Amino acid sequence: MIKRRNESGKCHQHIPRITFHHSVGHASPVDLVRLSHLRKRKLGHSLYDPMRLGFHEIHFVTSGTGAHWVDFERVPLETGDVLYLSPEQVHAFDKESAHEAFLLLFKPSTLRVTNIHQSARWRANTVLHPSPSDFRIISDLLLVQESLDARSIDILSATVAPHLLAGVFAGLADVVSAQLGSVDLTSQRYEKLALEFEALIERQHSSVKNVAWYSSELHTTTRSLARACRRARNASPKEIIDLRVVLEAKRQLATTTKTVEEIGLSLGFTESTNFIKFFRRIVGAPPNALRRARGE
């Protein structure tokens, strides 16, 4: 399970945000790490405590079974599975798992070389199950990436890696279409706008709740944003914001010693009673009940 306390027994004061650093120091915006190697590496944070990503991360499970924690939910994994984690998402490695996996890490800017967010409906927390042959093909591309990272020619890695990433995404797009279904051009546009909307909410840590503000930042109208959210998520922009606010509240309740009032203030509620009512309406229980359920 997720370790939520340090050795002194105190709750973490914040969720650390992990920025992208290539494992061998290359300038490449793409990195590939074996999970077994990462477990042995000395890091400035525990792999088993919640952390917030500053980059994209895809897990390709190459052997064994295990799990990964995504926003405090345990996601089971087995050989051949592919799990995507998006920037700003909170995740943690499972201490009881011993499976092996390739971890493909890349900066958000590298998505320009792919069309995965436009051509498919693969979102964070969705586990893909490629066929064995598709998984082998993608694994071969990852082995090429690993070979490049092992070389001392930095410019080669930085130049070729984004194109290898595009190849991996091309293979994944076919898997997504087969597993989740393909979408037409109109649905692709709605999906793209919904993804951009969700990413912007994450960057604001859910503190902004004004739909018009998000529409302005995304250079669209509130009506267009509402249509995209309804078509892509079957929810209104306000409903999506509310769910993200609750998620951020859960993150803080689980990983900080902040009071309910302090958490409410950080999420834009000037009165703690309003925050408690809001939380109860969405979750069905007050914030402190969630904390007590976690043994805190």
Beta bridge partners of 250: none
How far apart (Å, rounded) are the C-alpha atoms in residues 142 and 109? 19
- What pLDDT, on the 0 to 100 scale, is given for residue 253? 87
Residue 44 has pLDDT above 90, yes or no: no
Q: Averaged over 45-61, what is the pLDDT?
A: 91
Beta strand 51-53 pairing with 17-18: parallel
The answer to whether 207 and 268 have CB atoms below 8 angstroms apart is: yes
**Three-state DSSP class for 78?**
strand
Residue bearing the bigger pLDDT, 267 or 10: 267
Compute the Cα dihedral for 168, 85, 124, 83 and give only its sign.
positive
Fold (CATH) for 17-180: Jelly Rolls (2.60.120)
Q: Which two tokens stand for residue 61?
A: 């499970």
- What pLDDT, on the 0 to 100 scale, is given for residue 43? 85
Give residue-wise pLDDT tens across range 76-100.
999 999 998 888 788 999 999 999 9
Give residue-wise pLDDT tens across range 157-193.
667 888 888 888 888 877 877 776 655 667 778 888 9
Q: Please give the share of the chain, as a percent, with pLDDT higher than 90.
A: 44
Residue 9 has pLDDT above 70, yes or no: no
Residue 277 has pLDDT above 70, yes or no: yes
Residue whose C-alpha is closest to residue 87's, from 110, 66, 68: 110
Q: Please give the share of the chain, as a percent, with pLDDT higher than 70.
A: 83
How far apart (Å, rounded) are the C-alpha atoms in residues 163 and 147? 15
Q: Which two tokens stand for residue 172?
A: 């994944």
Q: Chain-wide mean pLDDT for the chain? A: 83
Residue 118 has pLDDT above 50, yes or no: no
Give residue-wise pLDDT tens across range 239-276.
999 999 998 898 888 878 899 999 999 898 999 999 99
Q: Of 130-139, 198-207, 286-295, which one has max mean pLDDT?
A: 130-139
Residue 3 has pLDDT above 50, yes or no: no
Residue bearing the bigger pLDDT, 217 or 167: 217
Q: Averaged over 108-125, what is the pLDDT?
A: 57
Give residue-wise pLDDT tens across range 24-38.
888 888 899 999 999
Q: What are the structural domain ranges in the chain?
A: 17-180, 185-293
Residue 148 has pLDDT above 90, yes or no: no
- What pLDDT, on the 0 to 100 scale, is given for residue 11? 39
- What pLDDT, on the 0 to 100 scale, is given for residue 183? 59
**DSSP per-residue codes, 190-214:** HHHHHHHHHHHHHHTTT----HHHH
CATH class of 185-293: mainly alpha
Give residue-wise pLDDT tens across range 190-207.
888 988 898 888 888 777
Residue 215: pLDDT band (50, 70, 90) is very high
How far apart (Å, rounded) are the C-alpha atoms in residues 242 and 254? 18
